[in-house]
Structure 1
Amino acid sequence: MLDTNIKAQLTAHFDKLNNDIEIVAYVDDSAKSREMLDLLEDIAGLSGRISLEQRRDADERTPSFSLNRPGGHIDLRFAGIPMGHEFTSLVLALLQVGGHPPKVSEEVIEQIRNLEGTFRFETFISLSCHNCPEVVQALNLLAVLNPNVSHVMIDGGVFQREVEARNIMAVPAIFLNGEHFGQGRMELAQILARIDTGAASRDAEKLSAKDPYDVLIVGGGPAGAAAAIYTARKGVRTGIVAERFGGQVMDTLGIENFISVKETEGPKLVAALEEHVKSYDIDVMNVQRAAALIPGELMEIRLTSGAVLKSKTVIVATGARWRELNVPGEKEYRGKGVAYCPHCDGPLFKGKRVAVVGGGNSGVEAAIDLAGIVGHVTLLEFADKLRADAVLQKKLASLPNVTILTNAQTMDITGDGQRVNGMEYIDRTSGVRHRLELEGVFIQIGLVPNTDWLKGTVELSKYGEIEVDARGQTSIPGVFAAGDVTTVPYKQIITAMGDGAKAALGTFDHLIRH
């Protein structure tokens, strides 16, 4: 099942194993069980430290397998065949069960080991979901380090009955002790903050005790990372506080216009950014959300945790988020048929009828992707024509299971209380109201800046963007801004990085003059 190159790479990785690994496979006579066994037999054949046992057990998900050490107390399982984006999760789990140290701080390892209680996690994923592996890998690590934690990755494409029984319509979907715990991308720090009671107050106390910075950057996306690198290289005390390092780029799949890199994926680019940032003396404070900016001789950034950070200058790089339709039913059915990531959630709608709202590049790309999975796609655009690039429009028009509706104003999204069952729109030309019977709605109508916490502080445009000058200076001296959160046009990764560098240089110039 594995090609020669992958086997060679895995053999090199497995040379690092310090402990024996026991794989127990739960199988039946199905093709999926045979496929899973082929994978596990390939893996077991690469190292004398890995053993494989087959079992038939009606009480276990089939096909699935567990990883443990001889005499160990690790409850870590994969239900399905972890290929695609999840193959890395499998390799990391094997290494960690085999005793290879994880790439997290000793402080985090100690926090995990000290967790008290029983935590039985289940994560439903799709193999095409690029947001799922981070969740799977974080929960796998918890299971490896703490016997009170168990985790199973469940491929929704294999266990569709369970997906339907739990009304799962977006991935990753995380359950803790049988109850819904979270949905969407979650980092290890976010998960720990949820289950480690008292962690938030401890963190707030530590953060508030930090000395003032010369430059404090709010936001950890491309703009924030570039700004931090530029200020750190100037030798000034620099900090980054971010709700999620990487920002919206973490949710971006294909990137093909980042100059000098022919193609990459959002998570890979963010990993490279994080590595670059951490090569400098930059204080990175992740999983922290800004609540207010208080101008003064020393600027204050107040966080939702209650912590207060101080700095001589501030660069705001909080980016943007998916714009919502704000129609009845959207919030009620989010995660129950209303989705924003076609790459992640598309496989859950295999063979079903869906709609995509938005005729720009993101909307048309989403419709093209979904057309290869779902039964039928209806694309709705408010304007009288699509706004996507001509090459994308041509591709979309060639697909037999796509209907394009222009001059269509979405009015509401309907459901049966459990999941979406349709939507209604008005034909803006005739004024006639129509209904579409469908199971999913993917919303792709652009971005809204993350500036709610700044209203009444800095000047904002009518669209909520921060007004900046050519140097990134805002209406408050010493407060700069960069990236998608500002009035700068063309919201692109590469322009955000340039804006971050520019704001950093403007900030340094402000520091030396004042």
Structure 2
Amino acid sequence: MLDANLTQQLKTYLANLREPIELVASLGDDAKSAQTRELLNEIAALSDKVSASFDGSDARKPSFAIIRASDPSRQVRFAGLPMGHEFTSLVLALLWAGGHPPKVEQDVLDQIAALDGDYNFEMYFSLSCHNCPDVVQALTLMALTNPRVKATLIEGGTFQAEVDARNVLAVPATFLNGEMFASGKMGVEEIIAKLDSNADAKAAAKIADKKPFEVLVVGGGPAGASAAIYTARKGFSTGIAAERFGGQVLDTMGIENFISVPYTEGPKLGAALEAHVKEYDIDVMNLQLAEKLIPAKVPGGYHEVVLKNGASLKARAVVLTTGARWRNLGVPGEFEYRNRGVAYCPHCDGPLFKGKRVAVIGGGNSGVEAAIDLANIVGHVTLIEFDSQLRADQVLQDKLRSMPNVTIHTSAQTTEVTGDGERVNGLVYKDRESGEEKKVELEGVFVQIGLVPNSEWLKDSGVELSPRGEIVIDDKAATNLPGIFAAGDVTTVPYKQIIISMGEGAKAALSAFDYIIRTAPAEDVAEAA
């Protein structure tokens, strides 16, 4: 199962085990069970602290539990083979079960240990899903930290009948005590927040004790990380308040145009951003949604950002980097069938539609790339484009048109997503040339029609917004209000690209630095902070 390179890497990792672990498998007579047996035997051969047995009685076959030998109540179960994107999750599960400390803040571990209740999680993932590892690893950590938390992590392709019975049409899909808990990417702090009814109050109380910053960055994507690093390097007290650190880049699969890096993936880049930010004295406040901006009354005064949990943060300069989100179709059926056939991530959810008929809405680069990827997995792809022609790069169009199981409709306006009450069964589009309405029977709809800036919370702040809702900035990343700057996809800067967002974040930070030193002596700012 493991090549020589992976075998050597895993052997190195397993040398960090502090106490014995047991791998207990429940297997059938199928090929996947044989592969599971082979994998576990290979793992056990790499460390004298790992043992493997194959006499488990779990109903899901193949599956295996990773158990801390000294405390069998601390265990996690994988159903199916955790390879592909999940191999790292498997390695971490082995290490954590064996007592190797996780790289998680102690207060997070304390919150997990303090959860009062019995929680039985079942989570479905696909091996091509780049959003799934975060959830897999979060639930693994929780199960190995708190004995009252149980976690079974299920590779959907191996248990297709179960996936169909539970109407799982988007991953990651997480069930708690038999009921749907959440669909989509979550970190451990987000899961804790959903379980702990006092989480918001605790976070608000913690934030209330913070002194004003010299620079507060609102948003934690590439632009926000860049801005924070630049202001921290100038010696300014810097905070980041982010709804989700990493931002939309975490939902991006292949990145091939980040100069000097031929290929990377969104989650990997997001982790690198976080690691770089942690190299500096930057106060990162994750899972904090900004709801209101109150500008300073006079230049050099404190701006205030009010958060959803009721807390507020103050700073002499604010850099807005709240990014953008996927645009919705806004047609009947889209909301009703979201995660029941309507999806936004072809890489994550494509494998769940193997052999089925799907549509991709959007003829730009994202839409055409999605259609190409899906055509290699599903039975048939119908691409719907509102414009009279596709807008993607020609090389992508040529590739798409060469695929035999793809149909392209241009000048087509999607008007409805239809379903049977449980899941999608088709869509309706209008031919914009003839006016005729047509229905396409299918099982999935992937929406790829661009971005919407996350700027709604600024509408009453006095910050100037464009007709499209973007923050209007000048060539120095300044807004119309003194001391408030903006960068990245939320602004009017053209070409929404990661590398451009990073550059704009740096520019906004340098402008904030210039603003602060020109509006108040640096020592006064430091004393006020």
SS of match in other structure, 1:236 = coil
Equivalences for 1:371-450 in 2 at 5 Å? 371-450=375-454
Matched pairs, number: 513
| Deviates further, 313-322 or 450-459 | 450-459
Per the alignment, residue 351 of structure 1 pairs with: 355
Per the alignment, residue 522 of structure 2 pairs with: none
Matched, 1:175 2:175: yes
Over residues 250-308 of structure 1, what are the superposed CA-to-partner deviations in whole Å (9 max), with x where a residue is unaligned? 00010000001111001111111111111011100001100010112211100101111
State how far apart, in whole Å, the 2-side matches of 1:79 and 1:367 are.
30
Per the alignment, residue 209 of structure 1 pairs with: 209
Per the alignment, residue 326 of structure 1 pairs with: 330
Over residues 54-98 of structure 1, what are the superposed CA-to-partner deviations in whole Å (9 max), with x where a residue is unaligned? 1263x5200000011224212310000000001110000000000
The 8 Å contact of residues 354 and 374 in structure 1, kept in 2 or not, is answered as yes
Matched, 1:68 2:72: no
State how far apart, in whole Å, the 1-side matches of 2:51 and 2:236 are.
53
Shift of 1:383: 0.5
State how far apart, in whole Å, the 2-side matches of 1:152 and 1:402 are.
37
Per the alignment, residue 286 of structure 2 pairs with: 286
State how far apart, in whole Å, the 2-side matches of 1:75 and 1:252 are.
31
State how far apart, in whole Å, the 2-side matches of 1:168 and 1:479 are.
44
State how far apart, in whole Å, the 1-side matches of 2:227 and 2:89 are.
32
The 8 Å contact of residues 129 and 349 in structure 2, kept in 1 or not, is answered as yes
Per the alignment, residue 229 of structure 1 pairs with: 229
1:309 partner amino acid: L
2:318 partner amino acid: V
Per the alignment, residue 142 of structure 2 pairs with: 142
Over residues 186-212 of structure 1, what are the superposed CA-to-partner deviations in whole Å (9 max), with x where a residue is unaligned? 011111111123121011011022000
SS of match in other structure, 1:151 = strand
State how far apart, in whole Å, the 1-side matches of 2:432 and 2:69 are.
67
Over residues 359-405 of structure 1, what are the superposed CA-to-partner deviations in whole Å (9 max), with x where a residue is unaligned? 00000000000001000000000001000001100000000000010
State how far apart, in whole Å, the 2-side matches of 1:334 and 1:106 are.
36
SS of match in other structure, 1:321 = strand
1:504 partner amino acid: A
Shift of 1:6: 0.9
Per the alignment, residue 478 of structure 1 pairs with: 483
Per the alignment, residue 3 of structure 1 pairs with: 3
SS of match in other structure, 2:510 = helix
- CA 1:446 to 1:180, structure 2 compared with 1: closer, same or farther past 3 Å? same
The CA RMSD over aligned residues, in Å, is: 0.8
The 8 Å contact of residues 291 and 457 in structure 2, kept in 1 or not, is answered as yes
1:271 partner amino acid: A
Equivalences for 1:115-126 in 2 at 5 Å? 115-126=115-126
Q: Identity percentage over the alignment?
A: 63
The unaligned stretches of length 5 or more in structure 2 are: 520-529
The 8 Å contact of residues 20 and 68 in structure 2, kept in 1 or not, is answered as yes
Over residues 2-56 of structure 1, what are the superposed CA-to-partner deviations in whole Å (9 max), with x where a residue is unaligned? 0111111111111111111111110011111001111111111111111111126
State how far apart, in whole Å, the 1-side matches of 2:74 and 2:231 are.
44
Per the alignment, residue 12 of structure 2 pairs with: 12
The 8 Å contact of residues 68 and 75 in structure 2, kept in 1 or not, is answered as no
SS of match in other structure, 2:223 = helix
Per the alignment, residue 308 of structure 1 pairs with: 312
State how far apart, in whole Å, the 2-side matches of 1:243 and 1:269 are.
18
Per the alignment, residue 461 of structure 1 pairs with: 466
State how far apart, in whole Å, the 2-side matches of 1:139 and 1:455 are.
38
State how far apart, in whole Å, the 2-side matches of 1:431 and 1:336 are.
29
Equivalences for 1:488-507 in 2 at 5 Å? 488-507=493-512
State how far apart, in whole Å, the 1-side matches of 2:260 and 2:30 are.
46
- CA 1:417 to 1:132, structure 2 compared with 1: closer, same or farther past 3 Å? same
| Deviates further, 123-132 or 47-56 | 47-56
The 8 Å contact of residues 238 and 282 in structure 1, kept in 2 or not, is answered as yes
SS of match in other structure, 2:54 = strand
The 8 Å contact of residues 24 and 56 in structure 2, kept in 1 or not, is answered as no
SS of match in other structure, 1:395 = helix
Per the alignment, residue 36 of structure 1 pairs with: 36
Over residues 295-333 of structure 1, what are the superposed CA-to-partner deviations in whole Å (9 max), with x where a residue is unaligned? 122111001011111111100000000001100000000
The unaligned stretches of length 5 or more in structure 1 are: none
State how far apart, in whole Å, the 2-side matches of 1:361 and 1:387 are.
7
1:490 partner amino acid: Y
1:462 partner amino acid: P
The 8 Å contact of residues 75 and 149 in structure 1, kept in 2 or not, is answered as no
State how far apart, in whole Å, the 2-side matches of 1:11 and 1:257 are.
34
Per the alignment, residue 88 of structure 1 pairs with: 88
SS of match in other structure, 2:399 = helix
State how far apart, in whole Å, the 2-side matches of 1:479 and 1:454 are.
12
State how far apart, in whole Å, the 1-side matches of 2:157 and 2:488 are.
37
* Structure 1 runs of 4+ with >2 Å offset: none
Equivalences for 1:353-372 in 2 at 5 Å? 353-372=357-376
1:4 partner amino acid: A
2:398 partner amino acid: K
The 8 Å contact of residues 28 and 56 in structure 1, kept in 2 or not, is answered as no
The 8 Å contact of residues 426 and 432 in structure 1, kept in 2 or not, is answered as yes
Over residues 215-237 of structure 1, what are the superposed CA-to-partner deviations in whole Å (9 max), with x where a residue is unaligned? 00000000000000110111111
SS of match in other structure, 2:482 = coil
State how far apart, in whole Å, the 2-side matches of 1:11 and 1:241 are.
39
SS of match in other structure, 2:464 = coil
| Deviates further, 196-205 or 397-406 | 196-205
State how far apart, in whole Å, the 2-side matches of 1:36 and 1:396 are.
37
| Deviates further, 433-442 or 191-200 | 191-200
TM-score (normalizing by structure 1): 0.99
State how far apart, in whole Å, the 1-side matches of 2:89 and 2:337 are.
30
2:220 partner amino acid: G
TM-score (normalizing by structure 2): 0.96
State how far apart, in whole Å, the 1-side matches of 2:320 and 2:41 are.
51
SS of match in other structure, 2:211 = coil
Per the alignment, residue 523 of structure 2 pairs with: none
Per the alignment, residue 336 of structure 1 pairs with: 340
1:460 partner amino acid: L
